[in-house]
Chain A
Amino acid sequence: MSISGVKLLRSYLITKSNLYELLERISERNKLYAPLRHGDQVVLDLAKSINDILIDYIGHSTLPLKKILIPPREILYEYWIEKKSVTINDNLDKIASERIVIFGIRACDIKSIEILDKVFLREFHDPYYKKRRENTVIIGLTCVSPDKNCFCYFTRSGPEITSGYDLLLTKINEHYLVDVGSEKGESIIISNKELFSDATPESLEVKARIVKETIIKIKDKNDLPFFNEVYDQLVKRFDSREWKEISSLCLSCGKCNFVCPTCTCFDIIDEFDPIRNRGKRIRVWDSCHFLSFTRVASGEIFRKDRSSRIKQRIYHKIVYSVNDIGTISCTGCGRCIEVCPVGIDIREIVRNLAR
């Protein structure tokens, strides 16, 4: 199985009621994560009932897909000491037995998988990510109603996407067009043949039209340069005075990192119970906006200045990421804009600096 770079296979059609039937069947044998309602938020979570799943929702979930592949707080392993020997109970074994299906994510999150793969499966393989990733099936849902902060078109990550998913659904009138993106996706079709019919040429045309319409919606709300074309301008403006102004607004609260589909920084903590001689090693998300992020063993902090921290986030997305993994790591989902209490907007920053 290849994880990225699979080419588009065939396309099918499925009715809405058959789609629910398919999800029902999937949920019987897998952990099914899907967009659900939580207060005013759409959250990606374990679907307890198929009827709770949101199929036509606006924008995207509050936390991105990474919350499933790299949970915010994850026990990596537990250990105990007995007569001077250490036994390790690796959580990897549990992950290996999990079958995960993630349904209903948008292009911005599907694109993020490509970036997460480049971070976690490159030189050093993160075993926990790798196992989960191998055991995960992605069923995407083409976005037709972008939110006011969505700009995926300008990061070239959506609204159309041609790889990174196993199946991709697009609402076509009363049906859903199903694009197959991998062998895993194809096998779902094969084992549930009776729920699908072949795609018609018209349905493919309708999809192309819908994508075009969605691009227009995004373009209407945004006047932006393409984010993968502003590298040089941003490098030149590293010491620009604008940064001082931006950092005077920034609360350093770190929300933007937590909601970003491609922010991958984490911290490792150890918890030990000296009575039972047992301990846990735990991975938790971290944020480059926190002072403690660059604190080293001697106590020295390398990014004391707030502007150096906000610059780190923006430059990582658009410059360092290109140096490091060969692609920008902003997928244009707009989550950081949505949650920022003081309205710091990566679109404005990039537009101004690229001018």
Chain B
Amino acid sequence: MIPKQKPRVGIFNLSSCEGCIVQILNLGEKLLDLLKLFNIVDCRVLGVKEDYNKLDIAIIEGCVMSFEEEVKAREIRERSEIVIALGDCAVSGNINFMKDITNKPHKSKPLSEVIKVDHEIPGCPISSEEFYRVLIDILMGKKITKKSITVCSECVLRENNCLLEKGVPCLGPITRGDCNAICPSNNRPCFGCRGLADDANIDALIKAFRDRNIPISQYLIALNQMKHKGGEER
């Protein structure tokens, strides 16, 4: 079922570490599959730069930190049918935004604050598998929906020892899963890289931290205030 006309894809990066693009390269054999289905016409990391006017799919990694990046994002949006925000920096601002959270106005902006984003692939870094799935689903015309599963519930599926119970500040209960709880399964607390779960109850987690004498970071407090104001969510 290889399409007659392969969709033209551009992969771009704004302020980021390019780790998510490396995750695309980490697909290995599956990347070769994607190359049979898609025509990558622009990607700095792959060393591809063809002449093109319109793009079917633009994949943008990184958050918007400067006026130049804002212009670049708008330009890409204008010539693209579908825009995918790749990785936590593009989806929510990630580390840049964490440092910036108490500043007004924010210097760092998630992509969706600047342009219309059609799909988001969260994670720091993204899961290669999820990236592959999203591209295939777009190709097949499937409606892409995010599941509300949390990291915490995926962690209990793996029957791990609970880090929270050990007094470790794990954000698993409020973080969107579908990562197979990779961090807590390796004894590292969840740091929320996939963004807030649907209807995340930060107040309740802060209480759970207090009950266990777990220190509450400024970032979590700021995030909670922001959520209550109904503003942007990480």
Question: Residues on A close to B: CB < 8 A?
Answer: 38-41, 43, 62-63, 72, 81, 248-255, 257-259, 267, 271-275, 277, 285, 287, 290-293, 295, 304, 306, 339, 341-343
B22 contacts chain A at the CB level, 8 A cutoff: no
Is A251 a contact partner of B2 (Cβ separation < 8 A)?
Answer: no
| Residue among A38, A252, A253 with most chain B CB within 10 A | A253
B159 to chain A, nearest CB (A): 4
Q: Which of B60-68, B88-96, B112-120, B138-146 lies on the face that meets chain A?
A: B138-146
Q: In the complex, which of the residues A254, A277, A342 contacts B153, with contact meaning CB atoms closer than 8 Å? A: A254
Is A254 a contact partner of B164 (Cβ separation < 8 A)?
Answer: no
B36 contacts chain A at the CB level, 8 A cutoff: yes
**Count of A-B contacts with CB under 8 A?**
112
Is A251 a contact partner of B159 (Cβ separation < 8 A)?
Answer: no
Cβ-closest chain B residue relative to A305: B199
| Residue among B140, B146, B149, B201 with most chain A CB within 10 A | B149
Is A341 a contact partner of B173 (Cβ separation < 8 A)?
Answer: yes
Given A272-B136, A272-B140, A292-B148, CB of A251 within 8 Å of CB of B173: yes
Is B199 a contact partner of A252 (Cβ separation < 8 A)?
Answer: yes
Cα–Cα, bound, A268→B152 (Å): 21
11 A-B pairs besides A255-B152, A277-B1, A287-B153 with CB distance below 8 A are: A63-B159, A248-B201, A251-B174, A251-B204, A252-B199, A253-B197, A255-B153, A291-B198, A341-B205, A342-B204, A343-B211
B104 contacts chain A at the CB level, 8 A cutoff: no
Cα–Cα, bound, A216→B200 (Å): 40
Cα–Cα, bound, A75→B199 (Å): 30
Chain A residues within 8 Å of B37, by CB: 274-275
Cα–Cα, bound, A290→B173 (Å): 12
Cα–Cα, bound, A333→B213 (Å): 28
B203 contacts chain A at the CB level, 8 A cutoff: yes
Given A277-B1, A290-B148, A342-B207, CB of A255 within 8 Å of CB of B198: no
Q: In the complex, which of the residues B1, B149, B159 contacts A62, with contact meaning CB atoms closer than 8 Å? A: B159
Cα–Cα, bound, A254→B172 (Å): 11
Cα–Cα, bound, A343→B37 (Å): 49
| Residue among A41, A274, A292 with most chain B CB within 10 A | A274
Is A253 a contact partner of B1 (Cβ separation < 8 A)?
Answer: no
Cα–Cα, bound, A248→B172 (Å): 18
Chain B residues within 8 Å of A285, by CB: 157
Cβ-closest chain A residue relative to B33: A275
Selected A-B contacts with CB under 8 Å, 5 pairs: A38-B159, A251-B200, A254-B148, A254-B152, A342-B204
Q: In the complex, which of the residues A40, A81, A254 contacts B150, with contact meaning CB atoms closer than 8 Å? A: A254
B150 to chain A, nearest CB (A): 4
Is B156 a contact partner of A62 (Cβ separation < 8 A)?
Answer: yes
Is B149 a contact partner of A254 (Cβ separation < 8 A)?
Answer: yes
Chain B residues within 8 Å of A72, by CB: 157
B161 contacts chain A at the CB level, 8 A cutoff: yes
Cα–Cα, bound, A254→B149 (Å): 7
Chain B residues within 8 Å of A63, by CB: 156-157, 159
Cα–Cα, bound, A295→B149 (Å): 13
B71 to chain A, nearest CB (A): 33
Cα–Cα, bound, A254→B133 (Å): 24
B141 to chain A, nearest CB (A): 11
B160 contacts chain A at the CB level, 8 A cutoff: yes
Cβ-closest chain A residue relative to B201: A251
Cα–Cα, bound, A71→B38 (Å): 35
Chain B residues within 8 Å of A267, by CB: 147
Cα–Cα, bound, A82→B119 (Å): 32
Cα–Cα, bound, A339→B152 (Å): 10
Chain B residues within 8 Å of A249, by CB: 201, 204, 207
